[in-house]
Structure 1
């Protein structure tokens, strides 16, 4: 079984991309808390991903299964998704300690939000915190991409 152990953080305004990133568009066939089924186009490739529930004491860990699918199929599936599309540019950066960081710069209705994620081999695995790393939001459901598709960042200011 595939397992994802991931920590998520906000990014300080001092961060600037080291290189150009990759465009991502994704939607959700299912966004219920017990499981999410995501369709993604990343660059010229399509993906179908099923993720289990996260939250509680194990907020950083959950089941994950991801499969590459033809990009034409991914485009067709995006039309079947629940309302709301997540659009972002993903930048990859390697920290001095060897950990890879995925920094997502959101666009569209999530414009202004920048989130960084690091995948770990264990929940207690130590990692270097880059200087541009902000507040940890692991387990905060507002920052789940499935939630951002339904409750975009631009609407948070109205609350």
Structure 2
């Protein structure tokens, strides 16, 4: 059975107020491969190996659990930039959730927000809140796998 992720990605115009009231996840991730995408990620104290198929709006995605030792070992094998960011999960209308990523280190200038959907039709019908900026879903320069290899080219 294929696991499909359907998401849109946006720049932001302004940070929402009171970010501290939302669920916060500290993330570290690196890429073992970028075509297809094979990523290792730490989310607070959870660890994952992820495979993502091709596609910008919609693609297959599989997450497998790792332990801390396996994560550290695989992270040391990653090429390019190791990405560190904080993700805030912000509820939106209709049961949707905005995942606001605030990057750290050399990528600190970057702030992105993603929203996942049940269908491509739902994604295409989505009207973003006022604090969302430009839709960059189809701009590969804003995908983490690209950023890990080339940095910010924007």
TM-score, normalisation: structure 2: 0.90
Report the Cα distance in structure 2 between the residues aligned to 1:83 and 1:137, rounded to whole angstroms. Answer: 22
Report the Cα distance in structure 2 between the residues aligned to 1:83 and 1:148, rounded to whole angstroms. Answer: 9
Report the Cα distance in structure 2 between the residues aligned to 1:93 and 1:128, rounded to whole angstroms. Answer: 16
Report the Cα distance in structure 2 between the residues aligned to 1:102 and 1:53, rounded to whole angstroms. Answer: 21
In the alignment of these two chains, the number of paired residues is: 149
Among 47, 66, 69, the residue aligned to 1:69: 66
- Map 1:84-95 onto structure 2 (within 5 A): 84-95=81-92
Map of 1:30 onto structure 2: 33
Return 5+ residue gaps in structure 2 as ranges: none
Return 5+ residue gaps in structure 1 as ranges: none
Deviation at residue 83 of structure 1 after TM alignment: 2.3
What value does the CA root-mean-square deviation take over the aligned residues?
1.5
Higher strand share: 2
Greater Cα shift, 5-14 or 18-27: 18-27
Map of 1:44 onto structure 2: 45
Whether the aligned pair in 2 keeps the contact of 1:95 and 1:128 (CA below 8 Å) is: no
Higher helix share: 2
Go from structure 1 to structure 2 and tell me whether the alpha carbon gap of 1:99 and 1:20 turns closer, same or farther (over 3 Å shift): closer
Deviation at residue 24 of structure 1 after TM alignment: 0.3
**Structure 1 runs, 4 residues or longer, greater than 3 Å off:** none
